[in-house]
Amino acid sequence: MKKSERLILESQSPDEYVANSLKSRLSPAEKAKLARLWMERTGYTREDIIRARNRNAYWRKRKMEGAAERTKRRMEAHDYSQGKNVEWTRERLAEFLTLNRKDAYGRYLRRDWELAEHFGTSIPSIQYLRRKYNKVKKMLGPGAKREKILDYMSCSELVLQHGGPKSRRRRR
């Protein structure tokens, strides 16, 4: 058994396993066999290794390479606005609130691009509305009525930063 193979198999944690795997000059096939053996010996899972890889500086850097280009391509591929601005009326905002639901794990049921396609707008527009909605929910609390949420969603982010629609009326 090679020294690098022994080092990988003797790793005590997923973080150590990832570091030792990176140092070795073994082929991907050899590393895959060692990974299976290491997981059987230690009881760690594939998810543990993936989590450790995501924390590793080398893999984080690798993962981020080309991220800006991928994001730009995604935005262009899912721009359904056709150069037009969408007017967010009270009815459209109500529909957005209905479609902008989360599951039990806190993940959105519909992706950004699906909502963008539905409303004929862009992904940044949907992300803006989601940010605004989260801000409004935080301001009003969990028991806020839907009508009040719609009132606040009709305001700009700047108005919300200054306390919402009520504070705007007081300043006049």
The pLDDT, as a whole number, for residue 85 is: 87
Q: What is the secondary structure of 79-147 as a DSSP string?
A: --STTPPPP--HHHHHHHHHH--B-TTS-BSS-HHHHHHHHT--HHHHHHHHHHHHHHHHHH-TT--HH
Distances (CA, A) of 129 to 29, 61, 115, 120, 165: 46, 30, 11, 14, 17
The pLDDT, as a whole number, for residue 48 is: 95
Segment 61-106, tens digit of pLDDT: 988 888 899 888 888 888 898 888 889 999 999 999 999 999 999 8
Task: Name the average pLDDT for the chain.
Answer: 89
Measured N-to-C along each axis, helices 90-99 and 123-140 cross at an angle, to the nearest 10 degrees, of 90
Q: List own/partner pairs for 56-62 with CB under 8 A and 24 or more apart.
A: 56/15, 56/18, 56/19, 56/22, 58/22, 59/18
Average confidence (pLDDT) over 121-131: 93
Q: What is the pTM of this model?
A: 0.61
Query: What are the residue boundaries of the structural domains of the chain, listed by start?
Result: 3-64, 70-171
The answer to which of 26-30, 123-127, 156-160, 163-167 has the lowest mean pLDDT is 163-167
**Closest residue by Cα to residue 38 from 16, 19, 56, 11:** 11
15 alpha-carbon distance from chain centroid: 24
User: Is residue 170 very low, low, confident or very high in pLDDT (cuts 50, 70, 90)?
Assistant: very low
- Residue with the larger pLDDT of the pair 171 and 81: 81
Query: Rg for the chain (alpha carbons), in Å?
Result: 24
